[in-house]
Structures are given as C-alpha cells and as structure tokens.
A and B are shown apart, each in its own frame.
Chain A
Amino acid sequence: MGVRGFGLTREEAFEQAALALTAVVTDLKTVTDKEVVDITCEAPDDELLFADWLNSLVYEMATRNMLFSRFEVRIDGQRLHGKAWGENVDVARHRPAVEVKGATYTSLRVCPNARGEWMAQCVVDV
C-alpha cells in the first residue's frame, strides 16, 4: 500500500505520512496518544531518511505492540529526531487489518510539489 504525506516542511510531510502508516493498519480515530516513544535515525539522503523513519515506526509498532496517532519530527542534516505518541494494540477496539512488514523503496519520493508543499511517499509492504 502507498502512504503519502504533505506539509509546509519536510518534517510535516514525514509526520503526515506516519499518520497514513497507522491508517494502513487501523482507523486513526481509535488510537489514543497515551505513551510517547523516541525515535532517532540517520541516512545519507532525504528519501532514505524517510524510509528509515517509517521503518523505525514499524519496528516500534512490532516490538512494543503499539499503534501511534501523533508524531513530531525534527530533521538535522542527515539525522532525524522524532516522537511518536500512541497506545498498546487492543485487537477488539483497533481491529487491525494488516501488519506492515516494512517501508520499501518503491515510489519512494521526498520533494516539493508545484505548490511549494513538501511531499513524502513510498509503498509499504503488508
């Protein structure tokens, strides 16, 4: 499935795409933002950094058994410092549709569009 985020900045586009990532799994409205997880990643270009950001979220979702509904991203050169707020998976309430295996490099793009907004997208494997 494809995920895409738009924003006035790269960071905002990354945050929005992370919301799309959660929406692949469940209805975003059902996920509360009780607990925060810190994420750091590093990559040689914006696109690999975006894939790393999503893959870090996939990793935290898998190992903490969590879903996230709010994000904050700060990019400093080739490093990303992020926060993700969410809660533990409750199968009865969240009814997860699929598990995301990882972010791929298919249709991977981070760039400004004609309106000057930033866009970040890629296909995630489910």
Chain B
Amino acid sequence: MDTSLLKRESDFEWHVPQTGKMNVPGIIYATEELIRDMDNKVHEQMTNVAMLPGIQKASFAMPDAHWGYGFPIGGVAAFDPDEGGVVSAGGVGFDVSCGVRTLLTGLAATEIEAVKEQLADFLFRAIPAGVGSTGKLHLNQEEMDAMLTGGAQWAVEQGYGLREDLERIEEHGQMKHAKPGEVSEQAKKRQRDEVGTLGSGNHYLEVQKVLEIYDKDVASAFGLREGDAVLSIHCGSRGLGHQIGTDFLKKMVIATPGFGIQLPDRELACAPINSDLGRSYLGAMRAAINCALANREVITHLVRQAFAEILPKANLKLIYDVSHNTCKVEEHAIDGEKKRVFVHRKGATRAFGPGHVDLPEALRSIGQPVLIGGTMGTASYILVGTSVGEARSFSSSCHGAGRRMSRHQATKQWKGRELIDYLATRGILIRSPSYRGVAEEAPGAYKDVTVVVDAADQAGLSRKVAKLAPMICVKG
C-alpha cells in the first residue's frame, strides 16, 4: 500500500482521511513496513466500509489486514442501530466464529517429545479433518436446534467437554438470542455429519511448546510456564456457518437497494440492524457462533480422549477460546457516552482489557487472553487485552499472520512432501491428507507473525504474554 494515501499519527497508527462519501475516517494499526506490504485493496475496502450507514468512530484495520470479501480481513467496524446502522454478512465472513482455543496440558514439552510420533499419528486418526471426513455425532432436527441454541453448553450437557471449560469461552460458551429457525435446511443438512470436525485450509490442531514468556505475572495467571506443552485448535462453524454466509450474502445483495443503501461494492451487502432481514441474519449468525463453540468443545473432548490413551497423566485445561469472525453487541464509550453498538470483527479478535465484566472471575483483573495463530513452521502467540484497547479499536486485535501470497502461488514455490520432511528435521511433525494442502499452507506463504504481533503490542491493542513453537500440526 502506498503510504502517501495515509496520514501518519504515530509509528503504529495511520489514518485514512475522511473524504467523499466516507462517514468516518479509516485507522490502520501497523508498522510502516507492514503497511507497505499490504495490498491496496485494504485501503479501498476500509474506505468502502467507512461509507456504510451508522458506522461509529472509524473503519479499523488490524496489523495483519489483507484483501477480503467486502470488508478487509483484519477489519473492525461498529454500527449504531439508532443511527441506521447495518449488519453485513461479508463483515462477519463465510466461517462464522472461526476461532482458536488453547489448552494447558499439565505436561512438559519434553514429555511430549518422548512420544511425539505416536501422539501425532493418534491425533490424526482421532480428529476428523478435511474433505471426506465425518464427525462422530449425527444430529437429528431436534438435536441440531438444541446445539444451535446451546453452543458449548449443549456439548457439555451431552457429555462432550467439561463444565469448567464454559467460563473460559466467549459468551460463557453460549451465544444468546440465537434463532435456529432462521438457519436454512441446507445449512443444517451441511452440518449433520460435520459436528466435531476440524475442516481444512488454514484450520489446524497443534501441540506447542511454550518457548518464551514476556509477562511473568499474566503468564502465571493463565497457567503458562516456559517449557510447558500446550495445545491449540483453530476451526469454525463448518458447513453450517459457510452456508449461512452464502444464504444471507445473496439475500442482502438483493435487498440492499430496497433499503436505500448505495453500496460501493456488492460484497458489502448488508441490512439495517433494525429490519427483518437484519434480525434474521443476526439470529442465524448467533446460531452459527453456537455451532462453532460446540464444534471446538466436541473436538476438545476427542483430544482429551486421545491424550488419555497416550499420556494418561495429561490434564487438559482450557485457557480461553476466542472467535475472530463475529458481530457482537457490546457497550463502548463513544464521544464520552456509553453506546450499545454492533461490532463486526472480520479476521480480528476481541481483546477485552482488565476489569471487563464479561471476563471470568479468575481473569477479570488480568484481561482477556488473545490467541494468535502463526504458521506451522514459525510460532504462535498468546497476548492479553489492554485497558487502552477499547479506545483504540473497540477492544480488538489481530488474528494471525495473514497471507502474503495466494494458494496458487504457494504451490508453485513449495512442494508439500519436501516441506513436511524439512519441518520434521526441525522437530515439527505435520500430519495432513494432502501434500498440496500443506504446500498452500507453507510458512513462507504467510506474513511474519512476530512482526504482526509486535505491531499489535506497540499499538496498544493487546500485549505479548508468551510465544509458542509448533511441535505437532494436524491439518485437514
């Protein structure tokens, strides 16, 4: 991106001046280096989002921002329904509530090393992943609706997961005001065999070593110590979420002119929050959030079972579960006044600071864990929400490294088999059904997650707590 398009406020904050049809300015949190590497579409898309009715404060982009569908991935925008604010299916994404959870294992990384190959093979067999895989649960209509209403709470009630997991999940594991009736039959049919499956693409299950601690006190509150083994799961609402995205994108594209909204880009198709279509989408999206939360809870149950076979002394405790494709109703201070707004985070993570009432008691004085997935060859990070984050970005932070080249380009540069062999020499075991899938996910295809995370830290969006290194990576 050409930095002359922006006004530099600091080394980590750049503004897109409010001009033309923009209702608010744009704000990018990133270093100059990251911005130069960003595609120009990020500027275009942020500017387009700023034109939507009812948008509050600014159209934000996180340090990992890149070209998305309507909204940039790494985009954050909040809307006030009382000002004609809208909700956009493109502003949430096709994988509603895609997110990450990280669990402590109670084991040292050295204990994993001793059985690494065996554990990798076992996890690969135990967790359904990729095209052609099927979940172990097959829900009928009634069970499907119960899952879409109950989320991770439903999963625990069915015997998948532990009750103490729930307070460590956004919304305490259950997104309220979900409306399974607004979810199409096609979406439910797509999910019937997919409950408890990992998906493919950039989804993964990773066993990781805590490599470095940056904040001892917060790390201790999260239960983290250097040399520990932890486990992270990255996936979303599977076929149901994708179908909801498809269904409502079409409905919104057709309906938007009727609402008198002029779209600079068809992909920004939206509906007023206070409209039947807006309410219908919100009901369906919340059901999809529950689907994702239930999905990660079921996978956690399968992982606990796998560990019980190979490493019976393991005790998998959930640190936190974050989602990065959602629209949530939150109260935020805007121009000195508390307002109830609808915050879209598209490839961006919620990052509540210390003292937030929605955090569980054990973490309330510390802040919310923010889990940032890197690549299978580099690192992932655990950060914590800050007290300045609300004013900066409606308490939002980045979500990952962000791609720097297309999947097609990645397969031209790397071969899956060679990549797997190379990573094995570095002690990282990859398990995947497809060499091409691995090549598309090559570490080199992504931006440097450390640079992204450092920028988020320096910008005050969230603060570094620990660095994790991959040991085992299971992909679909």
Contact = CB atoms under 8 A, between A and B. Distances in A.
Interface of A: 1, 25, 43-44, 48, 51-52, 55, 58-59, 62-63, 65, 89-91, 94-99, 101-106, 108, 123, 125-126
The list of the 5 closest CB pairs from A to B, nearest first, reads: A96-B131, A89-B132, A101-B242, A97-B436, A97-B437
Contacts of A96: 130-132, 200, 433-434, 437
Interface stretch (B74-82, B243-251, B270-278): B243-251
Given A89-B132, A105-B266, A95 B436 contact: yes
A101 to B, nearest CB: 4
Nearest to B199: A99
Contacts of B192: 63
Most chain B beta carbons < 10 A, residue from A52, A91, A98, A105: A98
B436 A105 contact: no
A55 B70 CA distance: 18
A89 B131 contact: yes
Contacts of B70: 105
A73 B305 CA distance: 48
Given A91-B130, A91-B131, A101-B242, 8 more contacts: A48-B250, A48-B253, A59-B243, A89-B131, A95-B435, A96-B131, A97-B434, A126-B407
B94 A102 contact: yes
A99 B200 contact: yes
A105 B267 contact: yes
B427 interface: no
B110 interface: no
Contact of A99 (B131, B193, B243, B436): B131
Given A25-B131, A91-B132, A96-B131, A101 B437 contact: no
A102 B476 contact: no
A98 B201 contact: yes
A51 B253 CA distance: 12
A89 B476 CA distance: 14
A95 to B, nearest CB: 5
B440 interface: yes
A102 B242 contact: yes
A52 B433 CA distance: 29
B254 interface: yes
B267 A99 contact: no
B69 A106 contact: yes
13 contacts: A44-B254, A48-B250, A63-B190, A65-B134, A90-B132, A95-B434, A96-B130, A98-B201, A98-B437, A105-B249, A106-B69, A125-B242, A125-B245
A52 B247 CA distance: 10
B408 interface: yes
Interface string B433-447: 111110010000000
A58 B238 CA distance: 13
Interface in B190-224: 190, 192-193, 199-201
A97 B133 CA distance: 13
B310 to A, nearest CB: 24
Given A59-B190, A62-B190, A102 B250 contact: no
A108 B266 contact: yes
A99 B267 CA distance: 21
